[in-house]
Amino acid sequence: MGFFTYAYSPKRHQQTPKMKMTNMVSSRLDEEISILRSWKQMPGGYDAVSKRVNESYAETQDIRETMKETGLPFDLVWEMVGFKDEFDFVEMGED
C-alpha cells in the first residue's frame, strides 16, 4: 500500500455520528445567524415585513409566490405566515 492510497483512503475520512451531528448543528446555526442578520436589514423591522408577507400570502395563497414578491427565503415566509407554529405544536395523532 503506497502513501497515496493510505492518505486518501475513504475509510480514513469517514465522519463519526458525533462529527455529522456537529456539522449539522453548525450549519443550522449559520442559517439562523443569517436569518437574524437579514431581519436587522428589513425596512420597518420584523413586524412590518411580517405584515407585508401576510398581506401577500392572503392574496396569493402560495408560499413560493409570496417568496418571489417579498424576496424572502422559504423558512422566513413559512414562519411569518404561521405554518411553522402549526407544525411545531399540533399533535399528529400518534401515541
Domain coordinates of the chain in residue numbers? 16-89
Q: Are 67 and 83 in contact (CB under 8 A)?
A: no
Question: How many CB atoms sit inside 10 A of residue 29's CB?
Answer: 10
Distance of alpha carbon 84 from alpha carbon 35, whole angstroms: 15
pLDDT of 38-53, one tens digit each? 766 667 778 888 899 9
Whole-model pTM above 0.85? no
Tens of pLDDT along 63-79? 999 999 988 888 888 88
